[in-house]
Structure 1
Amino acid sequence: MLITLKPGERIYLNGAVIRVDRKVAIELLNDVDFLLENHVLQVEDTTTPLRQLYFVVQTMLIEPRKMAQAQKLFREQLAGLMTSFRDEAVVAMLGDVGNLVDGARYFEALRVIRRLFIVEGAILGAGTPRPRAA
């Protein structure tokens, strides 16, 4: 996988934070856990239940040392969300998130949760701003 970063941009790679000083292309030659800076949600932006779930999964990816705590919190939040939503498609997508996390596929889980932000925004009657950069 080839990733291009702009000057000053960060990537979270296997728990390490890497910032580049110039435009670079990084080729990942094996499976690694990574998160691009523009997908990082700050704690002050965790204002809705799905954003809180996103933050917990993000923590699993960025801070592997906090994995046990994050997994426990994830299970609690996921169970609550699955009983809160009535839309079968949303519940199915949350089930997919659970399966992805169980398979340690955190980046893909975050992608599914981001798609659910739109549904949550419509339910709450709020806009759906993108996660802010770190």
Structure 2
Amino acid sequence: MKVSLRAGELIYINGAVLRVDRKVAIELVNDVMFLLENQIMQAADATTALRQLYFMVQLMLMNPTDHQDAAVLYKQHHAALKAVCENRQMLDGLDQVGELVAATRYYEALKRIRALFPVEQAILSGTAIELPIEAA
């Protein structure tokens, strides 16, 4: 996989934080977990149940050698969300997220959670219609 970065941009690779000093393209030639700076959610932005779930999975991805605490919180939060949610689209999405996390495919799980943000927003605003889900 080839990733292009702008000068000063951060990338998180297998728990390491790298900042590039100039525009660069890097090729990841083996299986690594990474996040680009614009995909990182700050704790203060985890203001909804689904965003909190995203933050927990993000912590598991960013700190692969010490993710047990985040994994415990994730499991509890995921189960609680599934227990209270009635929207079929959200439930199906949460099932997919659960499968991805169980397979340690955290990046794909984050992508799936991001795709559910509009569904959550519709539920919270009281306009819970079935929305087309796009890959984020």
TM above 0.5, yes or no, is: yes
Contact 1:59 1:70 in 2 (8 A): yes
Q: SS in structure 2 opposite 1:104?
A: coil
Give the match's secondary structure for 1:12.
strand
State the identity as a percent: 52
> Given residue 60 of structure 2, which amino acid in structure 1 is its aligned partner?
M
The aligned residue for residue 13 of structure 2 is 13
Where do 4+ consecutive residues of structure 1 move more than 3 Å?
Answer: none
> Is the aligned partner of 1:74 residue 2:51?
no
Question: Under a length normalisation based on structure 2, what TM-score does the superposition of the two structures give?
Answer: 0.89
Task: Give unmatched runs, 5+ long, in structure 2.
Answer: 127-136
Q: Could you tell me whether the CA contact under 8 Å between 1:61 and 1:106 is conserved in 2?
A: yes
Residue 65 of structure 1 deviates from its aligned partner by 3.7
Matched-pair contact (CA < 8 Å) for 1:8–1:21 = yes
Partner of 1:26: 26
TM-score (normalizing by structure 1): 0.90
1:7/1:22 contact within 8 Å kept? yes
Residues 59 and 66 of structure 1 are in contact (CA less than 8 Å); yes or no, is this contact kept in structure 2? no
State the secondary structure of the residue aligned to 2:66: helix
Residue equivalent to 1:86: 86
AA aligned to 1:68 is Q
Give distance in 1, aligned partners of 2:90 and 2:54: 15
CA drift at 1:63: 1.6
2: CA distance, partners of 1:123 / 1:96? 19
Q: Which residue of 1 aligns with 2:51?
A: 51
Q: Structure 1 stretches of 5 or more lacking a match? A: 127-134
SS for the counterpart of 1:29 is coil
SS at match of 2:3: strand
Alpha-carbon deviation of 1:66?
Answer: 3.3
- Partners of 1:68 and 1:30 lie apart in 2 by 24
1:29-80 per-position Cα deviation (integer Å, ceiling 9, x unaligned)? 0110000110000000010000000000000011224311111101000001
* Number of aligned residue pairs: 126
The equivalences for 1:77-116 within 5 A come to: 77-116=77-116
Structure 1: distance between partners of 2:66 and 2:31: 21
